[in-house]
């Protein structure tokens, strides 16, 4: 088992974690890194071959966690995307809105002082969003879902956003089964409309968000 953090390390956006098992690769989130004004250009490529990814599991719909899924699909990812039902619904809305933003920026660029150039090309189009949504498989909170003989998973509510979840994986690592959890973004208690975040069960490894971890 090997875990590589490809995004949201030493910064906030672009969440993307690659878990490599024996002959099976799982991507946890696939967010846009929009820390810089040139984010459209910088999100065009991945540090791995998208066609080598077997499965994506999505913690929640915010663009810094879901926003580059259509690029992944456009560049060769052909597996399933697992999420809670509300996350799938919200992701479709937010990805479609991202396309509109890309196209709007391109239009403004063509009408401005740089009108002789086409401006930044959209990372993806509405057709790529449609292709991405066709890969979603939704799973309810607390349901144990067996992916294969090496891997099973459960979504745990964390508040933050409708449908947002921590991911608890049970992984066959050699001859032992290990538990690894990815919290995604954790909300606070007693927030109107949203469920309270629930405790993460005991695990062997915990990958936790820490955006405000230095504040007391």
Q: What is the mean pLDDT of each run of 10 residues along the chain (216 residues)?
A: 80 84 97 71 87 99 97 98 99 97 77 60 94 99 98 98 98 94 94 93 93 63
**What's the pLDDT at 112?**
59
Beta strands in the chain (DSSP E): 2-7, 16-21, 24-28, 55-57, 80-83, 136-138, 145-148, 151-157, 165-173, 176-182, 205-207
Overall pTM surpassing 0.95 (yes/no)? no
Helical ranges in the chain per DSSP H: 39-42, 63-66, 69-74, 85-111, 126-133
Comparing CA positions, the residue from 64, 63, 25 lying closest to residue 47 is 25
**What's the pLDDT at 106?**
73
**What's the pLDDT at 154?**
99
Q: What are phi and psi of 154, to 5 degrees?
A: -145, 140
**What's the pLDDT at 10?**
59
**What's the pLDDT at 36?**
60
Q: Give the domains, in start order, of the chain with CATH numbers.
A: 2-207 (3.60.15.10)
């Amino acid at each position: 088992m090997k875990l590589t953090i490809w995004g949201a390390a030493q910064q906030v956006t672009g969440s993307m974690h690659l878990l490599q098992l024996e002959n099976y690769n799982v991507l946890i989130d696939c967010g846009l890194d929009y820390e810089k004004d040139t984010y459209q250009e910088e999100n065009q490529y991945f540090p791995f071959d998208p066609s080598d990814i077997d499965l994506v599991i999505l913690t929640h719909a915010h663009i810094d966690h879901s926003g580059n899924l259509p690029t992944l699909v456009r560049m060769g990812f052909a597996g399933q995307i697992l999420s809670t039902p509300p996350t799938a619904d919200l992701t479709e809305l937010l990805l479609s809105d991202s396309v509109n933003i890309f196209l709007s920026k391109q239009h403004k660029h063509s009408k401005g002082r740089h009108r002789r150039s086409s401006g930044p090309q959209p990372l993806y189009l509405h057709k790529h969003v449609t292709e991405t949504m066709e890969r979603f498989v939704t799973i309810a909170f607390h349901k144990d879902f067996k992916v294969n003989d090496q891997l099973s998973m459960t979504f745990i509510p964390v508040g933050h956003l409708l449908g947002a979840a921590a991911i608890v994986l049970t992984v066959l690592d050699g001859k032992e089964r290990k538990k690894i959890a990815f919290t995604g973004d954790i909300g606070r208690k007693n927030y109107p409309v949203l469920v309270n975040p629930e405790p993460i069960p005991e695990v062997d490894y915990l990958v936790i968000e820490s955006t405000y971890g230095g504040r007391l």
